[in-house]
Every structure is written in structure tokens, then in C-alpha cells.
Amino acid sequence: DTGVSQNPRHKITKRGQNVTFRCDPISEHNRLYWYRQTLGQGPEFLTYFQNEAQLEKSRLLSDRFSAERPKGSFSTLEIQRTEQGDSAMYLCASSSNQYYRSGANVLTFGAGSRLTVL
């Protein structure tokens, strides 16, 4: 397993365009998370899936943002009508619930997809 894979790594788009990012988690992980990170800040939580169910969404996830995980494997994050404020690194992470009671539930992050909105 090569870890969490995110594509594309970089995306430059014009304001008003739609963009979609894809995340392929570690295959045996049933939990998948999306975060957003702007320069100099820590990652901010956006949303979380357990299998195909989206169980939590942040207030940061406006109605222009939608995330899906249709078969409980890969996930997509779509941003419609992009704005310059959407420019950020979008990070995906996955985890297994196997070690939940040990307090571990370690998240494995991908390298991120950097979005620049002109």
C-alpha cells in the first residue's frame, strides 16, 4: 500500500470555475477526512466519512462545497463557483477504527492538493 493518494497535486483555476479533488485512502481504512490548510495555519477540519456515510461536516463547508464517498473507498471534494478565498491546500486523511479503544486511531494524511484561484 502506498499510503493516501491525492490528485491533482496542484490546481490553478479562475474564479467562478468548479474544481474537484480526489482522495484514495489506505485500502483497509474505513474512515476518511478532509481538511483545509492555508499558509501559516494548522489544518482545519472540513468533513468526515465512515464508510460511505458522511457523519460530520464543519461550518467551514459552505454550500459550494460537496464531498462524496460513494462506495466507501475513494472520495471526491468538489468546490463550485470557486472564490479567491478558497485558495488553500486540501488535505485528505484516512484511519481505521481498529485501535479506537487504545486511543490511537492514527490519521494517515496524503500530501495534499494545492488550489490556487486567480
Partner 1 sequence: DAKTTQPNSMESNEEEPVHLPCNHSTISGTDYIHWYRQLPSQGPEYVIHGLTSNVNNRMASLAIAEDRKSSTLILHRATLRDAAVYYCILRPLIQGAQKLVFGQGTRLTINP
Q: How far is the CB of 36 from partner 1 (least distance, A)?
A: 11
Quote the CA–CA distance of 38 and 86 in Å, as a whole number: 9
Chosen residue from 61, 93, 115, 117 binding partner 1 by CB under 8 A: 93
Quote the CA–CA distance of 101 and 4 in Å, as a whole number: 23
From the list 64, 73, 15, the residue with the least C-alpha distance to 36 is 64
SS3 call for 84 = helix
Query: How many degrees, rounded to 5, is the angle at CA 60 between CA 35 and CA 67?
Result: 60
Taking CB under 8 A as the rule, does residue 85 contact partner 1? no
Chosen residue from 7, 17, 18, 41 binding partner 1 by CB under 8 A: 41
Chosen residue from 5, 13, 50, 80 binding partner 1 by CB under 8 A: 50
**Residues across the chain:** 118
Q: How far is the CB of 45 from partner 1 (least distance, A)?
A: 5
Q: CA-based Rg of the chain, rounded to a whole angstrom?
A: 14
Chosen residue from 52, 68, 80, 109 binding partner 1 by CB under 8 A: 109
Name the site residues for partner 1 (rule: CB under 8 A).
4, 31, 33, 35, 40-45, 48, 50, 55-56, 91, 93, 95, 100-101, 103-112
